[in-house]
Amino acid sequence: MREVAVIGIGQTRVEEHWDKSLREIAGEAVLLALQECGLEQAESLYVGNMMSGSANRQQHLGSYIADWVGMRYTEGYHIEAACSSGAAAFRSALMAVASGSVDSAIAVGVEKMTDSPGGEITTQLATAADADWEADMGLSFVAINALIMQRYLHEYHWSKDDFAGFSINAHANGAHNPFARFQEPINKAGYQKAPMIAEPINLLDASPMGDGAAAAVLIPLDNIRKQAGQKLVKVVASTAATDTIAAHSRKNPIWLSAAEKSVKQAYNQAGISPNDIGVFELHDAFTIMAALSLEACGFAEPGQGPRAAIEEQICPKGRIPISTRGGLKARGHPVGATGMYQIVEVVQQLRGEAGETQVERPVYGMSQNIGGSGSNIITHIFKSE
Amino acid sequence: MREVAVIGIGQTRVEEHWDKSLREIAGEAVLLALQECGLEQAESLYVGNMMSGSANRQQHLGSYIADWVGMRYTEGYHIEAACSSGAAAFRSALMAVASGSVDSAIAVGVEKMTDSPGGEITTQLATAADADWEADMGLSFVAINALIMQRYLHEYHWSKDDFAGFSINAHANGAHNPFARFQEPINKAGYQKAPMIAEPINLLDASPMGDGAAAAVLIPLDNIRKQAGQKLVKVVASTAATDTIAAHSRKNPIWLSAAEKSVKQAYNQAGISPNDIGVFELHDAFTIMAALSLEACGFAEPGQGPRAAIEEQICPKGRIPISTRGGLKARGHPVGATGMYQIVEVVQQLRGEAGETQVERPVYGMSQNIGGSGSNIITHIFKSE
């Protein structure tokens, strides 16, 4: 297995791109990533996307995007793992390069959720849940997460307000990210006043939809001629684990077993412990998911996730900075693109390009992308050299 | 890059499975494949499927199928490349094993086209074409292939009847395959009387839809303890190439450039020439595609594909046997599953398990899966040892 590095990144701002098609958004991120590393094209293209078949009436995104960016005759695929489609595309691209099958690959995550001819997006998002036993019973994704959060509050005696810090940190950081959907800070009073969506999840616990794309170029480490002063970002771990598709089938619905499985393997692969992680882009689709991720990944004891927010351990200068570019909450959550935004943001941090919210000299950065209500969890660890 | 072998296969009959859900169909094929090689589960699962998001309101098939077959905490993804989703899943599984990332993987192709809550299947199939410039103009996939066939007839002066042999061979072979959707032979008079769908494509030029799943288990060659007399099937080439998504964008719409690119690379990887191929499961979604595939892969001169059918070179005892288990035409074309059916059938041939339509002692077998109207073409070569 060859060592692989990320040598180019690109992203579009997450927003409602009414004036742009799916291929224009994805193409922009791909071309920016290629441009950054001076490549004209790559040998293969992996497109992470969840809903284009229904939301945009367009499947076959491998050929579709390769064609659009002028990558003629290269290979191209569409990878889907619900909200973890982005990281799944990255992991596929990584294996293509690591196996020696190709010498360069691009992973791009893209989702276009506005202007959907496929109808209501909430219904389409529910295709990530169990169609027979969750979606058809009327459970939306917010509702599933609300049930999980209810149970968590009951079990560990936190109050809803104890989760405010996740949202406040995300928005504070998003304010400095030109690619974030929301660029205004919020405060605790605002969080408390936010309208309820599905008790106990209010508007500021939930990440917003949006259109966007983020991309990365991968090549074998040995093929890089490092220039003086150039910071290199190497992939040191890539792991994934599934869990039951329905949240109600899990023995303990308030513990992310797939995250635990995936992250333990990742620490092993990288030969490090949680203490070595300088920045952690986690999947804060809902504040409860941020808490559960911190616990499953070894940054908080079971049931103690909210404490990390209350004590500001999660802020850029804290013990375990998360959502440093806004996270899903403020940067936005264009589902199939999110995993790639997380990876691009970790690369920015490791290169020292994160501006106002730059973490101090991180050596290892981790991204973790969650599909469904915890049913597919993909972890990557990167190292700055 | 490690050498990889296929050690287990499984498939369901292609038919209208009104009584079975997508996960039941896919699960059956996966469990049969695992059972055949005596494994309880694999480390990763790649699900090839095109339309479940709209046709079955279920995405996230990696977790969904892994959960259903009891593969808890393994990784799982859904790979989509339109009608070439099956081979794309196989190629992804292959790279996971070849890279050393996992020591076992399952690829399963599945499609459930009947009983679709997403409405008309023809419209959903059109999502494999260019949504803006083909589908929205009213072009269905039959119509795109009809335009290609019209041009071919005009350019090379064949008559429509010259394509009958492709359909006759497929149905003759399908009659001996218990997994084929259609198991009755047809004759030339029947072909000539078949109702026209889109001039010049009639009902017997076109492959039927259906529900079905086919699966294969892959492990590193070195991990196999070969038993006396056991036939081993090794993957000796895996390649893919894209072309423009819209047929009208290609310089020559009656030449499969992506097939030529992909197959040349495959012959190189395997170190063989077309003459070494003993059996070729090609993508006869329409008779014209069978002719174009033979040409692009070096089995006929440009414009001479139909001659191979007229001279019965394509029959099980011919020079280049194709559609030996019925092909897309008679076995059926459950789109995302088709590529995996092709691979399973090549494995059957190389093991000598193809019954009445067994090709005489093939050493190399090739499968080629086409996505869209030629916009994604994935080739695999297998060797019997």
Q: Does A128 touch chain B (CB under 8 A)?
A: yes
- In percent, the amount of chain B with pLDDT more than 70 equals 99
Q: Read off the pLDDT of residues B61-72 as tens digits, 9 standing for 90 and up.
A: 999 999 999 998
User: Would you state the pLDDT for residue A228?
Assistant: 63
A215 in any annotated domain: yes
Contacts across the A-B interface (CB distance below 8 Å)? 217
Q: Does A34 touch chain B (CB under 8 A)?
A: no
Expressed as residue numbers, the domain containing A100 is 4-119+209-223
Quick one: how many helices (H) and strands (E) in chain A?
A: 13, 11
| CATH number, residue B101 | 3.40.47.10
B126 in any annotated domain: no
Q: Read off the pLDDT of residues B55-114 as tens digits, 9 standing for 90 and up.
A: 999 999 999 999 999 998 999 999 999 999 999 999 999 999 999 999 999 999 999 999
Tell me which chain A residue has its CA closest to the CA of residue B371.
A60
- Asked if A282 and A322 count as a contact pair (C-beta separation under 8 A), the reply is yes
- In percent, the amount of chain A with pLDDT more than 70 equals 99
Please name the member of B126, B131, B245 whose beta carbon is closest to the beta carbon of A67: B245
Q: Is the ipTM of this complex over 0.90?
A: yes
B383 in any annotated domain: no
Would the CA dihedral through A299, A305, A307, A308 be positive or negative?
A: positive
| Average pLDDT score over residue span B219-238 | 86
Interface of A with B in 221-260 (CB under 8 A): 238-246, 249, 257-258
Are A60 and B127 inside 8 Å of each other by CB?
yes
Residues of B in contact with A126 (CB under 8 A): 57
User: Would you state the pLDDT for residue A231?
Assistant: 78
Domains: count for chain B: 1
Residues of B in contact with A56 (CB under 8 A): 131
Tell me which chain B residue has its CA closest to the CA of residue A261.
B73
- Burial letters B317-331, b for 16+ CB under 10 A, else e: eeebbbbbbbbbbbb
A365 in any annotated domain: no
Q: Identify any residues that bridge with A309 across adjacent strands, giving them in sequence order.
A: none
Query: Which of A380, A317, A99 shows the shortest CA–CA distance to B2?
Result: A99
Tell me which chain B residue has its CA closest to the CA of residue A76.
B242
User: Would you state the pLDDT for residue B226?
Assistant: 67
Q: How far is A152 from chain B (nearest CA, A)?
A: 23
User: Would you state the pLDDT for residue B120?
Assistant: 87
Q: Is the pLDDT of residue B119 over 90?
A: no
Please name the member of B64, B73, B80 whose beta carbon is closest to the beta carbon of A78: B80
A41 in any annotated domain: yes
Please name the member of A51, A100, A371 whose beta carbon is closest to the beta carbon of B53: A51
SS3 A212: strand
Q: Is the pLDDT of residue B361 over 70?
A: yes
Query: Which of B53, B18, B117, B269 shows the shortest CA–CA distance to A102?
Result: B269
User: Would you state the pLDDT for residue B229?
Assistant: 67
B232 in any annotated domain: no
Catalytic, A333? Answer yes
A284 in any annotated domain: no
Average pLDDT of chain B, as a whole number: 96
Average pLDDT of chain A, as a whole number: 96
Interface of B with A in 148-207 (CB under 8 A): none
Q: How far apart (Å, rounded) are the C-alpha atoms in residues B354 and B177?
A: 8
Higher pLDDT, B149 or A227: B149
- Helices B61-68, B22-37: axis angle to 10 degrees equals 60
- Asked if B218 and B94 count as a contact pair (C-beta separation under 8 A), the reply is yes
A26 in any annotated domain: yes
Query: Which of A195, A80, A210, A200 shows the shortest CA–CA distance to A142?
Result: A200
User: What's the residue count for chain B?
Assistant: 385
User: Would you state the pLDDT for residue B357?
Assistant: 98
Residues of B in contact with A135 (CB under 8 A): 57
Confidence of residue B227 (pLDDT cuts 50, 70, 90): low
Catalytic, A37? Answer no
Q: Read off the pLDDT of residues B157-199 as tens digits, 9 standing for 90 and up.
A: 999 999 999 999 999 999 999 999 999 999 999 999 999 999 9
Mean pLDDT, consecutive 10-residue stretches, chain A (385 aa), reads 95 96 98 96 97 94 97 96 98 95 97 88 92 91 97 98 98 98 98 97 97 98 77 95 96 97 98 98 98 98 98 98 98 98 98 97 97 97 95
- Look-up of token digits 């990332």: B101
